[in-house]
Amino acid sequence: MGRLTWALLCVLLLWPLGVATEFKPWVLLEPDNLRISGQFIASFWPLAHSGEFLAMVAKETWRTVAMATAGITLALVIAIPLTLLNTRVLSVSALSGRMAALPYAWLLIVLRSIPELVWALVFVRVVGLGPTAGVLAIALTYGGMLGKVYGEILESSEAHPTETLLRNGSGRLQAFFYGLLPTSAAELTSYTVYRWECAIRSSVVLGFVGAGGLGQQLDNSMKMFNGGEVASMLLVFMALVALADRVSAWLRRALG
């Protein structure tokens, strides 16, 4: 009876959500929709493989990776200082329980609360079409995300070495590098690489609003109903995500 009660409770809770979102998955099974979906999926084969197309894909793939990497690098420039300023365990005043409210926490909230797609639309108007808008959009949103999670990772780490260093006159940076970082390096690195992987996915989506890269070419191919080109670029995209996953696993082994 317990399981049945929980199942009914879940249905009662999820039903209003389905109504609010107009969630109707059975529409996918309608004959006309199945026919259109089947035609589009069938167009995925044969894959586009002309020399000119592959050269374009290689160029845009490199641009996508560069956009994501530059965006994450700028995000680190934003996140690391804000993390150090907002981490209670790195504050001398926190040791005596007299630490005031974190002054930069709201800045991190503002940065991560605005989706990168919105930032991209703003920057496309400011700097024009191209990867620059995507880099800036990723930097701001991911700067807030990294700063938030970095702080949580550091706060959950072993604090005794850091407190000892602070009580003996070490500065915030010394306490971070010699107290917190050695025990948190693997987790911080793993999360950073995961966010880089997310940035690659985001850079593809940002291409749909004019930020360049593989996403913009994917948008063009979808508008032209060229399934072979779409399938080829999706395979490249999956390869990029798999590569990021391997890099993350290798770094965790190296730092573990």
Which segments of 156-226 does DSSP mark as H helices, in order? Answer: 160-167, 172-175, 181-206, 214-223
pLDDT tops 80 at residue 148: yes
Position 160 scores a pLDDT of: 64
pLDDT tops 70 at residue 213: yes
- Which domains does the chain show, CATH number per domain? 47-255 (1.10.3720.10)
pLDDT tops 70 at residue 161: no
Provide the percentage of residues in the chain whose pLDDT is more than 70: 86
Structure tokens at 100: 């005031």
Residue with more model confidence, 160 or 144 = 144
Strand, helix or coil at 129? coil
Mean pLDDT of 183-190: 82
pLDDT band at 245 (very low <50, low <70, confident <90, very high): confident
pLDDT band at 159 (very low <50, low <70, confident <90, very high): low
* Reduced DSSP (H G I as helix, E B as strand, rest coil) percent helix, strand, coil of the chain, to 5: 80, 0, 20
Position 45 scores a pLDDT of: 85
Residue with more model confidence, 162 or 37 = 37
Mean pLDDT of the chain: 81
Cis check for the bond before 46: say yes or no (omega within 30 of 0).
Answer: yes
How far is Cα 214 from Cα 230, in angstroms, rounded to an integer? 10
If we measure between CA atoms, which residue out of 64, 111, 80, 73 comes closest to residue 195? 73
Q: Where are the beta strands (DSSP E) in 65-182?
A: none
Q: What is the pLDDT of residues 81-117, one digit of tens each?
A: 888 887 776 665 555 555 544 567 788 888 889 888 8
CB < 8 Å & 24+ apart, contacts of 95-103: 95/163, 95/166, 95/167
Mean pLDDT of 186-193: 85
Position 142 scores a pLDDT of: 93
Mean pLDDT of 196-209: 85
Strand, helix or coil at 125? helix
How far is Cα 137 from Cα 98, in angstroms, rounded to an integer? 37
